[in-house]
A and B are shown apart, each in its own frame.
Chain A
Amino acid sequence: NAGVTQTPKFQVLKTGQSMTLQCAQDMNHNSMYWYRQDPGMGLRLIYYSASEGTTDKGEVPNGYNVSRLNKREFSLRLESAAPSQTSVYFCASSEHRANNEKLFFGSGTQLSVL
């Protein structure tokens, strides 16, 4: 019973490099999300996918792209990494449109951009 699985757990990039963070959930959830967490700030939503085939911008989408590959998988891509994207990234999923919605999170990816 894995829940939400993120890879990689750690990554160091140089400015300008690209990478994709992978996320998969096995709970048959409709919605998936990408958040970033920075020191002294709460988790902030980057992008979300309310259902398979749809994606929408969240609070801080600039510099990122996403792909909802299928119902299980939702990836986050940094095309040209910048030091400001140094953060801990969390993927999450939820049922969507269920009362008392709550998020199920992966264990996070610590990304450093030098």
Chain B
Amino acid sequence: DQQVKQNSPSLSVQEGRISILNCDYTNSMFDYFLWYKKYPAEGPTFLISISSIKDKNEDGRFTVFLNKSAKHLSLHIVPSQPGDSAVYFCAASRDAYNNNDMRFGAGTRLTVKP
């Protein structure tokens, strides 16, 4: 059973515009959420995280929003750049101290067009 779902396999945006990537989860025990970014032929790299005590976390052009009641989080990239073109994975776990029960979404492929 997929406990973390990214329902959009792909997204295409114009350079300079906002990219919004969405993620839904079903397990109410999840308490810590992360986004990873993956370029072809490379492993995923950590991008940004948020714990359930917050509803927003910002790091430069990247902002993650968490809506616990809706079991939904989103990643906003503003402004989008061609170098942001990658696959983005949403992940969730029950606490911020270990990764053993982390679940990943299937990923969304973002293409930013110049």
Contacts and interface: CB of A to CB of B under 8 A. Distances in A.
A107 B41 contact: yes
A63 B76 CA distance: 39
Contacts of B97: 97-99, 101
A41 B16 CA distance: 30
Contacts of A102: 34, 46, 49, 99
A44 B49 CA distance: 19
- 4 closest cross-chain pairs (CB), A and B: A105-B43, A42-B104, A102-B46, A43-B104
A101 B43 contact: no
Which has the most chain B C-beta neighbours within 10 Å: A33, A40, A48, A100? A100
B63 to A, nearest CB: 17
A42 B100 contact: no
Interface residues of B, number: 26
23 contacts: A4-B43, A31-B98, A33-B99, A42-B89, A42-B104, A43-B44, A45-B102, A56-B100, A96-B98, A100-B32, A100-B51, A101-B99, A102-B34, A102-B49, A102-B99, A103-B44, A103-B99, A104-B46, A105-B43, A106-B43, A107-B41, A107-B43, A108-B42
Size band of the interface chain A makes with B = 20 to 34
Interface string B86-106: 000101000011111011111
Contact of B100 (A41, A45, A105, A106): A45
Nearest to B51: A100
B99 A40 contact: no
A47 to B, nearest CB: 10
B2 A42 contact: yes
B96 A100 contact: yes
Contacts of B46: 102-104
Contacts of A43: 44, 89, 104
Given A99-B97, A102-B99, 8 more contacts: A33-B99, A40-B106, A42-B103, A92-B99, A98-B97, A100-B51, A100-B96, A105-B36
Interface in A70-114: 90, 92, 94, 96-108
